[in-house]
Chain A
Amino acid sequence: MSFDEIVCREFAELATDYLDGALPDATLELVEEHLAMCDWCRDYLGQIEATAAAVSHTPAAAPAPETLQALVAAFRDRPKEDRP
C-alpha cells in the first residue's frame, strides 16, 4: 500500500475496518481523503453497510419440531437443584 494515497482497490479491503473504527489514524486520514473525492467508493461503502443491515434482519431457520420437543422434554425432566 502506498503511503500518500489510497486507491479504490485498497479501500475495497478496508471498508469494514473503517466502519468498525479500527483504522490507525494515518490510514484513516487517507481513507477520508479518498472518500471525499470518490463517489464510487462511497457507493461501495453504503452497499457494505446496507448488506450488514440486511443480514441482521435474516433470522435463521427454527429447529425441527421433533428436536424442539425432545429438548423441551429434557428441560422439563431436569434434576432440580436446591434453591433458596
Chain B
Amino acid sequence: MPPGTAPRPETRRAPDADAHLLAALRAGDESAFAALVTRYHATLKRVARAYVSTDAVAEEVVQDTWLAVIAGIDRFQERATLKTWVFHILVNKAKSRGKRERRIVPFASLSRDDDGPAVSADNFQREGEAWPGHWATPPRPWEDPERRLESLEARERLREAIAALPDVQQAVLTLRDVEGLDAPEVCGLLELSDGNQRVILHRARARVRADLARYFEEPA
C-alpha cells in the first residue's frame, strides 16, 4: 500500500455488527447472550486490568459488568452500539473498583516521554556518526508475513507479545486493533487525549512489531 493511502479508521463508521444480537437478547435468547459473553469477556478483562490490581479483581469487574448488562438490556437506548455500551459499563465499574483499591488511574499521567521511545535509541546512529538519527540497525524485510503469521506458533508468539505489554498499552491496543474501535471512541471511553491515545497505541504496536521481528529472524 503506498504511503498516504492507508485506511483511516476514525472516519469510517461501521453499522453495529451486533445489532442482530441485541434483538435476540431482548427476546431472551440464551445462545445470543452466551455468544456475546464469549465474544467480549477476555477483551473486557484486558481493559479492566488497566484499572485494577489483579486478574482476579478484573474478572470480578467483568462479571459485574455482565450482570449490569443483563439488568439494563431492556432499557438500552441504542444511542451507542451494543459493544460501546458494554465497554462503558465496564470502564465505570473498573474505575470505581480501582478507586476503592486506591489505585491511581493509570491513563491520566501518560505523556510522550514516560516510557522511552517506541524504537530503542540503540537502533539509530548517534551524534558524531555519519548519519545521526538514521537507522544503524535497519528493520529487516519480512518474508511473506501474512502466510507466516497464520501458523499456530506465530499466533502464540503474538498472543504472548500482547500479554507482555504494560496493562495500559494492552487496553488501548485491544480496543483499537483487536476490537476495531475508532480513535474518538477509545479517547471517550478511557478519557484520554487524542495525542496520548495514539502514543500509547504506537508504543504497543512498536513493541509487538519488535517481538514479531525477532520471530521472523528465527529460521523458518
Contacts and interface: CB of A to CB of B under 8 A. Distances in A.
B30 A22 contact: no
Interface in A1-34: 7-10, 12-13, 15-22, 32
Contact of B202 (A13, A49, A59, A81): A13
Contacts of A59: 178
Contacts, number: 163
Contact of B194 (A22, A44, A83): A22
B166 interface: no
**What size tier do the contact residues of chain A reach?**
35 or more
Interface string A39-59: 011111111111111111111
Contacts of A43: 138-141
B80 to A, nearest CB: 20
A60 B162 CA distance: 10
A20 B57 CA distance: 34
A20 B117 contact: no
Interface of B: 1, 3-4, 6, 8-11, 26, 28, 30, 33-34, 37-38, 41-43, 45-46, 59, 63, 66-67, 70-71, 74-75, 112, 117-119, 121, 123-124, 131-135, 138-142, 145-146, 149, 154-155, 158-159, 162, 173-174, 177-178, 180, 183, 194, 198, 201-202, 205-206, 208-209, 212-213
